[in-house]
Amino acid sequence: MTPLELEIEQVKSELVSMWMLVQSQLNKAKEAITLYDKDVAHEVLVKEKRVNSFELKIDRDCENVFALYCPVAVDLRFLLAALKINTNLERIGDIASGIAQYVVDSPANFDMAAMESTGLLRMYDEAINILADTRIAFENEDTVLARSIFKRDDVLDDINDNSPNTVAEVIKKDAGLLPEALYILSIIRKLERVGDQSKNIAEEIIFYVEAKILKHAKSSGKLTEED
CATH of the domain at 206: 1.20.58.220
Give the list of residues 6+ apart from residue 219 with CB closer than 8 angstroms, or none: none
Domain extent at residue 46: 3-226
What pTM, to 2 d.p., does this model score?
Answer: 0.91
pLDDT band at 1 (very low <50, low <70, confident <90, very high): confident
Alpha helices in the chain (DSSP H): 3-35, 38-69, 73-105, 112-117, 120-140, 143-173, 178-210
Is 50 exceeded by the pLDDT of residue 220?
Answer: no
Give the list of residues 6+ apart from residue 208 with CB closer than 8 angstroms, or none: 74, 77, 78, 80, 81
Q: Specify the number of domains making up the chain.
A: 1
Q: What is the mean pLDDT of residues 102-114?
A: 92
